[in-house]
Homo-oligomer: A and B are copies of this chain.
């Protein structure tokens, strides 16, 4: 599966990653429309034209950047999911908190990115959808585990996950102006709140 890559190709790959890191940051901060290639180029200390040496256009760059952002995000959550010990509740709560922290601190405009412009070619939209599925899977695994163990109860698995994801993604909107310690409290509150979605005995 992994073909041997020359030194040159690896170098190009690293450059692409640098660009994508910067682009993911910018797109994640501001959303697609509010970013122009000048901005991306400037942060990389190159000129606009250079970006076209690596990407066919703004759409392609954005798509790749979103994927990078998503891979990074999902990867960190997966790593955490693997590392955390304990019952499903402990693990799910950790995931939620981690997700919100990343959203608020690093990709405050990520929500915008999921609202992919309808004008994009299907190929690009498909890639975004794919990426979201992987991301969802991390939470789903823990949730299903908790259900099987009898730790959790839900009305419907997918709906619960959607609701969780929506709330986590919008967190940046209302945590934007808070001081650091207030944010920490907000994160805890949100995590505890969302844990109720999977609670047993949800009422008298």
Contact = CB atoms under 8 A, between A and B. Distances in A.
A204 B201 CA distance: 7
A152 to B, nearest CB: 9
Contacts of A190: 159, 162-163
A79 interface: no
A119 B35 CA distance: 12
Interface residues of A, number: 43
Contacts of A203: 196, 199-202
Contacts of A197: 193, 196-197
A33 B34 CA distance: 8
Contacts of A204: 200-201
Interface stretch (A15-23, A55-63, A64-72, A110-118): A110-118
A86 B190 CA distance: 29
Contacts of A158: 174
Given A167-B167, A197-B196, A119 B34 contact: yes
A112 B109 CA distance: 12
Contact of A154 (B111, B155, B166, B193): B193
The 6 closest A-B pairs by CB, nearest first: A33-B33, A163-B167, A166-B170, A199-B202, A199-B203, A166-B166
25 contacts: A30-B118, A31-B115, A33-B33, A34-B117, A34-B118, A34-B119, A111-B115, A114-B173, A155-B196, A158-B174, A159-B190, A162-B167, A163-B163, A163-B166, A163-B167, A163-B193, A166-B166, A169-B170, A196-B199, A199-B202, A199-B203, A200-B203, A201-B202, A202-B202, A202-B203
